Amino acid sequence: MRRLPADLIVMGTHGRGGFERLLLGSVAEKVLRKANCPVLTVPPPPAAKSKLPFKRLLCPVDFSEPSISALRFAVSIAKESDAPVAIVHVFECPPDDELRAERAFDVLEYRRQVEEQATRQLDALLSQDERNWCRPTTTLSYGKPCRQILTIAENQEADLIVMGVHGRNALDLILFGSTTNQIVRRALCPVLTLRR
């Protein structure tokens, strides 16, 4: 991987399962964590639903450096293929009843404020020129990021998910997995990941 100056690694996912996968991970997951160039993972033919050229791009953004780099990459793909980009931001938020029990404030007002702030931040990530060619739409969602991103990708019939890879240590990945790994394992379309 380091010896060949590749611009992109393309690999299939075939889904090993069970305890072996939990402990050892898969080749694809190791490549995702260590590759210095973007990695395109493609699901097996029975699961894959997208077609070339990619015309519906989805990019999850959590405002981290890797996710912002991924958005820039998604916008460049959108420009080349004349495709819109759906930007997704997921709030990992405690349930409403938990918020009410622990804090004495209006949950709806709190949500309105955090959504407004996130929308402003997302809007600031793209120039007007970029908006013209990638025709972005923004979706704000609540819940577990992996589930929300996969559901939105399926509902919007995304052809490609573009996302950043966070550098997490091996123990963290063994115990908890990662949003990126879960999406690569379960997505019905190819997933392009960038490690920054």
31 token code pair: 């490549």
Spacing of C-alpha 114 from chain mean position:
20
Peptide bond into 53 cis (omega under 30): yes
Please check whether residue 3 lies inside any domain of the structure.
Answer: no
Range of the domain at 155: 9-195
pTM tops 0.85, yes or no = no
Q: Residues 154, 146, 165, CA angle at the centre, nearest 5°?
A: 110
What CATH number does residue 85 fall under? 3.40.50.12370
Please check whether residue 177 lies inside any domain of the structure.
Answer: yes
Please check whether residue 29 lies inside any domain of the structure.
Answer: yes
Please check whether residue 2 lies inside any domain of the structure.
Answer: no
pLDDT in tens, the chain (196 residues): 456 678 888 888 765 454 444 433 467 677 777 788 899 988 877 555 666 778 899 999 999 998 999 999 999 999 988 899 999 999 986 545 554 555 555 778 888 898 999 999 999 999 998 988 889 999 999 999 999 999 999 999 999 999 988 765 554 454 345 788 889 888 989 999 987 6
Q: How many domains does the chain have?
A: 1
Tokens 């160039």 correspond to what residue? 37
Please check whether residue 159 lies inside any domain of the structure.
Answer: yes
Please check whether residue 154 lies inside any domain of the structure.
Answer: yes
Please check whether residue 87 lies inside any domain of the structure.
Answer: yes
- The predicted pLDDT at position 46 comes to 57
> At 172, which amino acid appears?
D
Give the C-alpha separation, 113 to 139, whole Å: 16
Find the Cα–Cα–Cα–Cα dihedral 14, 173, 150, 51, rounded to 10°.
-40
> 126, exposed or middle or buried, with CB in 10 Å at 0-12, 13-18, 19+?
middle
- The predicted pLDDT at position 14 comes to 64
- The predicted pLDDT at position 167 comes to 61
